[in-house]
Amino acid sequence: MKRFTILGASISLALLGSCEAPEPPPSQRAEVLIFSKTAGFRHGSIPTGVTCLTDLAANLELAAVPSEDSADFNDTNLERFAAVIFLSTTMDVLNEDEQASFERYIQAGGGYVGIHAATDTEYDWPWYTGLAGAQFSSHPKIQPAVITKTDEQFAATSFLPERWERTDEWYNFKEISPDVTNLLMLDESSYEGGENGDHHPAAWYHEYDGGRAFYTAGGHTKASYAEPLFRRHVQAGLAWAASR
């Protein structure tokens, strides 16, 4: 009997050793990528944003990996991350192979968070425009504006006031996806230079091509990343995008 048990254990161990460990689901991945490469205008707030996002990720027990190297967008590396944050990226930041890897990452259940100029990115890549939810069109000067809350339940907005006044650079958008769920809308009567009329989104989320995407238009100014409400807004959006 003793010999049989040892033999059985040996066989069991051999069988276990012959199987690869299963890939952990995104909810068990403990890292997020903060990508801030620019090929056009570069925001001076990017270093402040990286510091803020690193802190917010830590609050969610996620380790942040800042990068401006597009070569990080390969299948093997992207598997590490629960979410990828595009922090004020601009223009063409990924080549075709890197784009294909990012598409596969999202299709496999990955998460995306876009902040501010993430919509000023990859205009000739329709898939990315669909993921981000819109394209940047223009902006007026930095000024205070009133944002109205359009979703009472979503974690990134449930705690916000019904009318939230803050100062930032307010984007006008084009190619706005009809498939996103809007969270915040800009009241164009509260500032100068709005061009989207009564339907002027300022934050949204959606499930897209197998993954999750959250975008907020705020974050141009360095001061944004010290605002408690804005930080909580971004952190909750990241938590949603990185979870399953």
Report the domain count for the chain: 1
State if pTM tops 0.75: yes
- Which tokens is 89 given? 């990226």
Does residue 21 lie within any of the structural domains? no
Q: What is the mean pLDDT of residues 177-194?
A: 98
CATH of the domain at 37: 3.40.50.880
Arithmetic mean of pLDDT over the chain: 91
Residue 200 lies in domain: 26-242
Is 188 inside any structural domain? yes
Please report which confidence band the pLDDT of residue 244 belongs to, taking 50, 70 and 90 as the band edges: low
CB count in 10 Å sphere of residue 59: 12
Q: Is residue 6 part of a domain?
A: no
pLDDT at position 12, please? 37
Q: Is residue 3 part of a domain?
A: no
Please report which confidence band the pLDDT of residue 227 belongs to, taking 50, 70 and 90 as the band edges: very high
* pLDDT, tens only, 95-132: 999 999 999 999 999 999 999 999 999 999 999 999 99
| Long-range contact set of residues 161-165: C-beta below 8 Å, sequence gap at least 24 | 163/187, 164/229, 165/190
Distance CA 155, CA 188 (A): 25
Residue 7 lies in a domain: no
Q: Residue 4 and residue 238: Cα distance in Å, rounded? A: 52
Is the residue at 213 inside a domain?
yes
User: Is residue 13 pLDDT above 70, yes or no?
Assistant: no
pLDDT in tens, 45-63: 999 999 999 999 999 999 9
Which pLDDT value is given to residue 107? 98
On the question of pLDDT at 7 being above 60, the answer is no
- The answer to whether position 2 is within a domain reads no
- 5, part of any domain: no
Q: Tokens 């409400």: give the residue.
A: 229
Q: Hey, what are 21's tokens?
A: 């460990």
